[in-house]
Amino acid sequence: MSALDNLLAESLSTMIMQKLGKKTIQKIEKRLQERYGITIGESIRDFQKMDSTLREFFGPGADEMEKDFLNNFISVGKSKREKPWLTIEDQKLARLILESFGDSSKKAILDASLKQPNVIMDILDICIIPKSSGYKVVGELIDAGLLAEKGFSTTKDGKKVNKYVALFENVKIELIGEKVIIHVQINEDFLKESYLIKVMQEI
């Protein structure tokens, strides 16, 4: 599962629930259980399964539906000169990102994880953050989806330790009244892995 798709999953799930209504959602969820043994929430994190099920119900009309779902809270800019910017307008997700970058410890950890994946201990050493509190902060960033697993390191005794890297390479925060709009450039590997971005670029 793509780290970016995981970050967007909750917002997209909420949007789909609002747009389709209770009866349609029940039918789709029943079909997802029959075909894959998963819930709607789980299918959002593996969107190919949701995509396939929507097409079974709505045929070619699924294209417009998915476009509507996605465009209600994110959009992807197009530029030949630089990596595309992803604009996030879902307020719950935008505020989560704003609060994370507004926290000095979280911002330091994300900044230290921009260029290359590192094990948690090395990230905390770079940031000069005490390990006693640092592991908790890193855990919160991982749970939020802003710090993603990317490869591993092998210790001297042969144990594998996960490495982590920031999901975003660049972040711009825009405030319009009380509305928060976040513009981000995604780590290229995560961008290529995202099925949701692929859907947005194709429809």
Tokens of 2: 């793509």
- The CATH fold assigned to 91-170 is Arc Repressor Mutant, subunit A (1.10.10)
Task: Enumerate the domain spans of the chain.
Answer: 3-78+190-202, 91-170
**Is 161:135 a contact under the CB 8 Å cutoff?**
no
Burial of 44-73, coded b for 16+ CB within 10 Å and e otherwise, reads bbbbebbbebbeeebeeebbebbeebbeeb
CA 108 to chain centroid? 20
Closest C-alpha to 117, from 84, 86, 142, 140 = 142
> Where do we find the tokens 């591993």?
152
Dihedral pair phi/psi, residue 172, rounded to 5°: -125, 130
Torsion, CA 118, CA 45, CA 194, CA 100, rounded to 10: -50
Closest C-alpha to 190, from 83, 104, 111 = 83
> Which pLDDT score, from 0 to 100, does residue 80 have?
60
Instruction: Tell me the C-alpha to C-alpha distance, in Å, between residue 197 and each of 66, 85, 128.
Output: 11, 11, 35
Q: Which pLDDT tens digits describe the chain residue by residue (203 residues)?
A: 678 888 888 888 888 888 888 899 999 999 999 999 998 888 888 888 999 999 999 998 888 888 888 887 788 876 566 778 889 988 999 999 999 999 999 999 999 998 889 999 999 999 999 998 999 999 999 988 899 999 888 877 888 899 999 999 899 999 998 899 999 988 888 888 888 888 777 65
Tokens of 92: 């719950």
Cα separation of 174 and 147, whole Å?
22
